[in-house]
Structure 1
Amino acid sequence: MCWKPSFREVMPWRSGVLACLLGAMLSGLCAQQPAADSTSKRTVSQAKVTSNVVNNVAVQSNGLPVPFATVFNTNTGQAAVANAEGVAAVPVWGVNDTLRIQSMGYETVTLVPGTMPLNLIELPQSMVEIEEVVVQSNAVATGAMTRMTTASLDRMAAKVPVLTVETTGELLQGSGQVHLQMSQQGGISPVLRGFEANRVLLMVDGVRMNNAIYRSGHLQNAGSVDPFAVSQTQVIMGPSSVLYGSDALGGVLHFVTRQPGFSPSGLEVEGKVLGQGSTVNGGWAGHGHVSVKAPKWGALTSVSRRAFGELRMGTWRAHGDSTWGRVPWLVERIEGRDTLVANPDPHVQSPTGYDQWDVQQRFRAKVPRGYVDVNVQHSTTSDVPRFDVFNDVAGGVQKWAEWSYGPQKRTLFATNIVQGIRGAVWQTMASYQAVEESRIKRRFGQDDRITQRENLDVWGVTSVVRGQRRNVDWETGVDGQWNDVASAAKALNLVTGVTQADLTRYADGGSTMRTLGAFGSARRTWGPHTLRGGVRYSHAAVHSTFLDTTWLDLPVRTFDQSKGALTGSASWSAKWSSQLQTLSSLSSGFRHPNVDDLGKVREKNGFVLVPNADLKPEYLYTAEQGLTWSLRPQSDVLVVHAAAFASLWRDAIVQADASLAGDTILVIDGDSARIQMNQNIERAWVRGARVEVSGRLWPKTTFRSVINWTLGSSMDDAATPLSHIPPTFGVVEVARKGAMTRLSTSVRYAFAKAASDFGPGSTDNLQEALPEGSPGWATWNVEGAMQVTDRLEVRLSGLNLLDLHYRTFGSGISAPGRNLRATLSARF
């Protein structure tokens, strides 16, 4: 018998969270995995067996096996995990038993087979896009290249519904566990556990986005991923360097885009078109994708266009300040002279508008015992105004007449080969990324427009083998990346049209960075207990050469560094009863200094950063304790998730005062600035906690409340506060889901943060807050969706309905005011 569930038999993600209590992970770039074909019969014996009498059941989707899917008997508590060929040895079930089958990337299926023979179960791929952000601890994540699993402690993963989005930042913000910093409308800088920018690893479809010039301040690179192409966003909290290498200190943000599928029955063509409009910025978006499926191959084409107008802030000033954030003046160039003109509406933040194109093409073909996947992505923007700097004043007058990030371009080519080999899965991915970034700025009253441009070529490869032997799931692999950075700068005189060279952001003679790593991890489960452990060794080498001495004469012009790092992790999870589970973990992370750390020249708010070749890798050692408690066994009537962590940050790289050839002041961009360098401070520590309470008020109505605390300080006598540490924040949400409708109302909030708790220097943007610090805030939001027909859906959102004026901590731009958004989508 082959079981193919109807739509009504497919459980939504939220209802199937308990299904993988003893599960291993689907760990491939894509949900589908190597085809069993003729090999499934000889690999049946390798499936996990939890009873002496078993039935061998194959779990497939679109003609491909689903390795490591979990089959859970909700009546007996017995579970079976499919092997690499998607075959699970399921203990014989009773006539009234219920089986629940689940794997990441697929809808959960619940069935009562009774006395019917069952040898094949079809898992549908998740039908709803942009519906969930999966947040989990690093201790339950596995799979070095792509989809992580909730493993045997799946309740540690919070699956969060998201109805309407305009950017990837909104995907993350909806979880209630990710803080966002913004310096412009096109800037999305996620903060995980008090870490931001190059201390948070960004990935898309298993490829590292972090490159050699990811900085430690605030980044906008997460915005280069098309939110309408994302099928799932995975957030891994805490150090994850064993599996992912450098930069994964605060955690990992992994954007998984839509994937091609196969059609065993013949050629199929399907697709979707979407249109969206928002009132707060006059923004609009259009998206379309087409999927072609055949028995042996599949292809998917996706195109999105988004346009954002000038962003309006809220008008209700509950914080009591009548002028904070208002924009009374705009800069215009009139008859060759910069002039300040009155802003007709000071609540409109100008300049903030920009637009963006996103294009993706994927192709997948079956090969013997596996498949090959080709993934091509391209993203480009218009100029993105950097709004926060237009508040800067020099000599009592406006400092900048122009300041924009030039078109941000990201092109990705990735080839992923997955093979089933003797009960194991071998996955190799090779990738190339071409990245272009630029900064365009001109001082007020001056004619020279300076453009700094960086071009990066990033080559990467990862090869992983994972499998099972007796009671042990294991994984081992190697990876490497090569970054080549070319930095150039020019100054264009707007009056004469003459162009000349100018000071580059990075070494004008070029910079390179090479990383190599090897890792291994294993997991063993016996009874209610699961142990996990892993180790990684990584080596990095950075080289930068400065040639021109016109603007900066460094004592050393060539910087070379070569360092290694060894990290490990271990965790223990246990199910103490049908209602209580716990997780204890020790983990370590590291970050190699990159080109941005070692070889950058940059001025901000009276400080100028100059290179320092003596940096060492920074390390983070974290202890974490988590628990999940439910009021009733196998029920979501009331569930509590809680986790607390403490991290020791050793050799932390921070910007601190320094001297250059005996001087502490450097003239740059026409201003005198205090010289600083990135330096390794001795020690710091970060600690925090999270509590999430969720439940079911009525059969179709659920609630969720999340609150997050984070603290960070140096461990010297001064106990100096660390930068990037957000105030207490969270979300309270009530949602109702019917047969054709979904409705939710939520309050997102953050507490105040005193100025004395801001980090040193300019990273936390104290100059953009009120004198006493960052005020607390709370917004009320309502979202709804209606399935008009089987193919037509309407989604409506009212965000910040009280039109509150606020800024998230560390941001240089006010958050959007009241926003009404409509989204219409149609499938074909």
Structure 2
Amino acid sequence: MKPCYVIFLLLFASNILVAQQIKVLNKLTEEPVSGVAIYNIDKTKSVITNFKGEASIDKFSNTDVIYFQHLSHLLKKITKSQINAFNIVYLDSNTQGLEQIVISASKFEQNKKDIPQKIISLNSKNIEFTNPQTSADLLETTGQVYVQKSQLGGGSPMIRGFSTNRLLISVDGVRMNNAIFRGGNLHNVIAVDPFSIMNTEVTLGSGSVIYGSDAVGGVMSFYTLKPKLSKTDTLLFKSNAVVRYATANEEKTGHFDFNLGYKKWAFLTNASYTDFNDLRMGSDGPDDYLRSEFVLETNNGDVVIQNSNPLKQKYSGYNQINLMQKVHYQPYENLSFDLGLHFTTTTDIPRYDRLIRYKNDDLRSAEWNYGPQQWFMSNFQVTKLSSRSNLYNKVKATVAYQNFQESRKDRDFQSDVRNVREEAVDAYSFNLDFEKTLSAKTQFFYGLEYVYNKVMSYGEEENITTNTVFPTVSRYPNGASWQSAAIYSSIKYKPNPKFVFQSGLRFNHIVSKANFEANNVYLNLPFESSENKAGAFTGTAGISWSPSKVLQWKLNASSAFRAPNIDDIGKVFDSEPGSVVVPNENLKPEYAYGGELGLKLNFDNTFILDMSSYYTYLDNALVRRGHNLNGETEIMYDGELSNVQAIQNASKAWIYGFEVGLLFNITNNFKLTSQYSVTGGTEEKENIEVPIRHVAPNFGNTHLVWNYKQLKVDVFANYNSELSFNQLAPSEISKDYIYAKDENGNPYSPSWSTLNVRTQYQISNSTTLTASIENITDQRYKTYSSGIAASGRNFILALKYSL
């Protein structure tokens, strides 16, 4: 026999031998799946994977149809010859079951059904299919997070009647909330690139025990993609490229990522660029939303131009770049080191709601832009998942640095003066989290946290005619600091599979310092500096009880708090036409006390009904109210006589609501889902109760989803009830320029609904096409409190190619 034939036969034989040893992995996490039953159609041949997900399939022939079955994964069947060249079989998680894993409840993995609170989970497959333009749009797809938009480059989530700095955002376990997160609509969530997200968890209700200040109404936890190690001796290279186009705002998006995986080292690079043009609203709806005219700056000054297409919202377009680099090192199976670098920047973002304000009969502003908003985060994490220490079994240490930069640039119509205010925050944080198994029934979680923020803030007036610059009052006291130190503990007791009790306690100490000397040149405050100290205890206790396979009860009680930050204590800004907010050094934390009752009915995973009701009492609420400065209730600000306001502990609030979700698996390929949320609430103002600003209208969605082989189709409706004039908060009534007018000429938020279709087709193993038509009937509407109208009929096309 010739040598070449011998070599060929040896290679062929070795390939057969290797093919008989396979590894079964979770398709999403690429973690080994142990205990997978592998068998043929008559079950005469069978084998089970070991703890590494490995099994030998030499007893099966190449033509055998092999079944892979696991309790928490979907059944898979393939022939032996269809197993890929790497001898890896991927299984899809059974996300319809109750065995989903969440991290945000304790910083370590827990079974979702054990958590007394309600947590919404979205994975990368959900995100790829919903194809959101921003992370705010991603949250909106849940049907349980309401999103307000002041401009196209925005998205301020509302959860159970709370919003802005009463909600906490975390990225890879690091809090994004900083010392200048404001009570007005807040849009930092769009800094998180949807293409970088591995999974998202939204905790509905208080999260103060684990996350501290600001986690009053909920926590939005984003976990970004992790670099993947090679499971073999060869380099693991994976890459994805996506292009997307949308007609309503002429979106042009490009994205790529690639993974280099070795045995112990892995690297992941992620980059996205998006270009948005002016957004087109729908053709059928209130004429009050039309953009009939706009201001154009010319060599001869500002002029008002009639809009040739009143449906196009000039000016609203902007660009955004997102970059992420990650490094993973795993010297041992239970020890890992992770470095993450995130960077996001935008062009100027026109603040559309300010561009449509009128003063007398003229447009008030010639320009109003958020300057480039930048966010940089570097975080380093060490995780040990197995230890015989008496103090812990698992430990996770995270150190992070973040830099936030933002600015505001506005100029009145036919004015030579442009007001510019620039802010930057350096944020440092350290977290140390532990998990200890005390017994087969009891787990103990505990940890500590330290956060330090430094605020830089500058103000100036630019004369666009003479090109001269003069200093003016800054938005915040330059050099102000905010720091927080905390310890927490939580215990989980599970005496049997049907009952779980969890309880936790946290103590926080917060110190903020500010010097107002520079701003006193303009404001003449009665104080030159302030030092605000506050201590806060918060706690939670809840049970999850499943008396049968059909029935599950959840009951939870908790307290939460928000300590005054630099935005509350030291901000100077025009809150509304003719009003200015000034600093107030005498502030205390606000506290929330709440309870939640949930009931889930699960009929063999075919029909699932999930219901929750909740109630929250907010005490010592930090709100904007009328104030005086040295006895004066009016001062000059940016050339205008303005009413004086300040943030004060001047209110109480009562918030309540009900949520219901439905899942009906009509067939294996066809399902119906629906979600509806009802929220109500009032706050105390001048001894009377008035509607609360961030209580959203009743809202929900309904989806009909069909899967067949490589095709997935989702026909769905989004809907939203009306808020009448009498249901609007006083602060919303004062912004009548963003609302429609009722028959009496009063502002109100009309009801609306949209019909939509989303499809995804797997062209090949490497290519996926996603196509959608949103707002098919071209409705003209605004989500509640939004300055910009939502998109009209919108065609979206995305193509993904993977290697």
Please report the TM-score for the alignment, with normalisation by the length of structure 2: 0.86
Quote the offset at 1:640 in angstroms.
0.2
Q: Which residue of 1 aligns with 2:800?
A: 825
2:306 corresponds to 1:342: yes
Quote the offset at 1:396 in angstroms.
3.7
Change (3 A) 1:111 1:127: closer
Quote the offset at 1:300 in angstroms.
0.2
Change (3 A) 1:421 1:109: farther
Equivalent residue runs for 1:62-73 within 5 Å: none
- Contact 2:117 / 2:554 at 8 angstroms: preserved in 1? no
2:462 corresponds to 1:518: no
Q: Secondary structure in 1 aligned to 2:690?
A: coil
Cα deviation 1:530-569 (Å, max 9, x = unaligned)? 1000000001111111123342111112111010100000
- Contact 1:100 / 1:111 at 8 angstroms: preserved in 2? no
2:563 corresponds to 1:621: no
Equivalent residue runs for 1:449-468 within 5 Å: 449-468=418-437
- The CA distance in 1 between the partners of 2:510 and 2:465, in whole Å, is 46
Q: Secondary structure in 2 aligned to 1:170?
A: helix
2:548 corresponds to 1:586: no
Equivalent residue runs for 1:560-579 within 5 Å: 560-579=531-550
> Which of 345, 362, 366 is residue 326 of structure 2 equivalent to?
362
- The CA distance in 1 between the partners of 2:514 and 2:540, in whole Å, is 33
Change (3 A) 1:382 1:729: same
Change (3 A) 1:417 1:143: farther
Cα deviation 1:599-618 (Å, max 9, x = unaligned)? 00111222211111111111
Q: Which residue of 2 aligns with 1:421?
A: 387
- The CA distance in 1 between the partners of 2:322 and 2:536, in whole Å, is 36
2:432 corresponds to 1:442: no
- Contact 1:133 / 1:159 at 8 angstroms: preserved in 2? no
- Contact 2:98 / 2:113 at 8 angstroms: preserved in 1? no
Quote the offset at 1:123 in angstroms.
11
Change (3 A) 1:338 1:363: same
- The CA distance in 2 between the partners of 1:543 and 1:133, in whole Å, is 49
Quote the offset at 1:371 in angstroms.
0.6
Q: Which residue of 2 aligns with 1:411?
A: 376
Structure 1: segments with no counterpart, 5+ residues: 13-29, 37-55, 63-95, 102-107, 113-121
Amino acid at match of 1:393: Y
Q: Secondary structure in 1 aligned to 2:289?
A: coil
Quote the offset at 1:576 in angstroms.
1.4
2:566 corresponds to 1:595: yes
Q: Secondary structure in 2 aligned to 1:597?
A: helix
- Contact 1:724 / 1:764 at 8 angstroms: preserved in 2? no
2:620 corresponds to 1:663: no
Q: Which residue of 1 aligns with 2:711?
A: 741
Quote the offset at 1:490 in angstroms.
1.6
Change (3 A) 1:666 1:395: farther
Equivalent residue runs for 1:32-71 within 5 Å: 59=51
Q: Secondary structure in 2 aligned to 1:535?
A: strand
Quote the offset at 1:152 in angstroms.
2.6
Change (3 A) 1:791 1:327: same
Cα deviation 1:404-431 (Å, max 9, x = unaligned)? 0000011111000012321711100000
Cα deviation 1:169-223 (Å, max 9, x = unaligned)? 2211111001000000001100011111111101111111100000011011001
Q: Which residue of 1 aligns with 2:471?
A: 501
- The CA distance in 2 between the partners of 1:618 and 1:61, in whole Å, is 50
Q: Secondary structure in 1 aligned to 2:165?
A: helix
Amino acid at match of 1:696: N
2:355 corresponds to 1:380: no
Quote the offset at 1:126 in angstroms.
8.9
Quote the offset at 1:719 in angstroms.
1.8
- The CA distance in 2 between the partners of 1:350 and 1:250, in whole Å, is 34
2:263 corresponds to 1:295: yes
2:758 corresponds to 1:790: no
> Which of 142, 147, 150 is residue 112 of structure 2 equivalent to?
150
> Which of 722, 747, 752 is residue 722 of structure 2 equivalent to?
752
Q: Which residue of 2 aligns with 1:775?
A: 750
- Contact 1:569 / 1:587 at 8 angstroms: preserved in 2? yes
- The CA distance in 2 between the partners of 1:618 and 1:517, in whole Å, is 17
Amino acid at match of 2:325: Q
- The CA distance in 1 between the partners of 2:656 and 2:148, in whole Å, is 20
Quote the offset at 1:366 in angstroms.
1.2
- The CA distance in 1 between the partners of 2:751 and 2:631, in whole Å, is 43
Change (3 A) 1:155 1:426: closer
- The CA distance in 1 between the partners of 2:626 and 2:684, in whole Å, is 19
Quote the offset at 1:124 in angstroms.
8.5
- Contact 2:509 / 2:535 at 8 angstroms: preserved in 1? yes
- The CA distance in 2 between the partners of 1:348 and 1:59, in whole Å, is 58
Quote the offset at 1:331 in angstroms.
1.1
Change (3 A) 1:124 1:184: farther
Amino acid at match of 2:212: G
2:774 corresponds to 1:812: no
Quote the offset at 1:793 in angstroms.
0.4
Amino acid at match of 1:166: Q
- The CA distance in 2 between the partners of 1:196 and 1:616, in whole Å, is 19
Quote the offset at 1:526 in angstroms.
1.6
Q: Which residue of 2 aligns with 1:559?
A: 530
- Contact 2:97 / 2:605 at 8 angstroms: preserved in 1? no
- The CA distance in 2 between the partners of 1:403 and 1:437, in whole Å, is 14
Higher alpha-carbon deviation: 454-463 or 395-404: 395-404
Q: Secondary structure in 2 aligned to 1:451?
A: strand
2:512 corresponds to 1:547: no
- The CA distance in 2 between the partners of 1:110 and 1:248, in whole Å, is 39
- The CA distance in 2 between the partners of 1:640 and 1:252, in whole Å, is 24
> Which of 181, 202, 213 is residue 214 of structure 1 equivalent to?
181
2:208 corresponds to 1:233: no
Q: Secondary structure in 2 aligned to 1:753?
A: coil
Quote the offset at 1:157 in angstroms.
4.8
Q: Which residue of 2 aligns with 1:270?
A: 238
Q: Secondary structure in 2 aligned to 1:316?
A: coil
Quote the offset at 1:233 in angstroms.
1.6
- The CA distance in 2 between the partners of 1:580 and 1:405, in whole Å, is 50
- The CA distance in 1 between the partners of 2:780 and 2:324, in whole Å, is 37
Identity %: 28
- Contact 1:145 / 1:207 at 8 angstroms: preserved in 2? no
- Contact 2:276 / 2:318 at 8 angstroms: preserved in 1? yes
Change (3 A) 1:373 1:787: same
Change (3 A) 1:142 1:362: closer
Q: Which residue of 2 aligns with 1:80?
A: none
Give the superposed CA RMSD: 3.0
- The CA distance in 2 between the partners of 1:372 and 1:350, in whole Å, is 47
Quote the offset at 1:5 in angstroms.
3.3
- The CA distance in 2 between the partners of 1:324 and 1:245, in whole Å, is 42
Q: State the structure with more CA Rg.
A: 2
Change (3 A) 1:135 1:591: farther
Quote the offset at 1:110 in angstroms.
5.9
Q: Which residue of 1 aligns with 2:60?
A: none
Q: Which residue of 1 aligns with 2:223?
A: 256
Quote the offset at 1:722 in angstroms.
1.3
Q: Which residue of 2 aligns with 1:168?
A: 135
- The CA distance in 1 between the partners of 2:357 and 2:473, in whole Å, is 21
Change (3 A) 1:463 1:110: farther
- Contact 1:279 / 1:819 at 8 angstroms: preserved in 2? yes
Please report the TM-score for the alignment, with normalisation by the length of structure 1: 0.84
- The CA distance in 1 between the partners of 2:572 and 2:90, in whole Å, is 48
- The CA distance in 1 between the partners of 2:309 and 2:265, in whole Å, is 55
Change (3 A) 1:599 1:2: farther
- Contact 2:453 / 2:481 at 8 angstroms: preserved in 1? yes
Equivalent residue runs for 1:601-640 within 5 Å: 601-603=572-574, 604-630=576-602, 632=603, 635-640=604-609
Quote the offset at 1:134 in angstroms.
13
Quote the offset at 1:2 in angstroms.
8.4
Q: Secondary structure in 1 aligned to 2:523?
A: coil
Quote the offset at 1:721 in angstroms.
1.3
Cα deviation 1:777-805 (Å, max 9, x = unaligned)? 00011000000000000000000111000
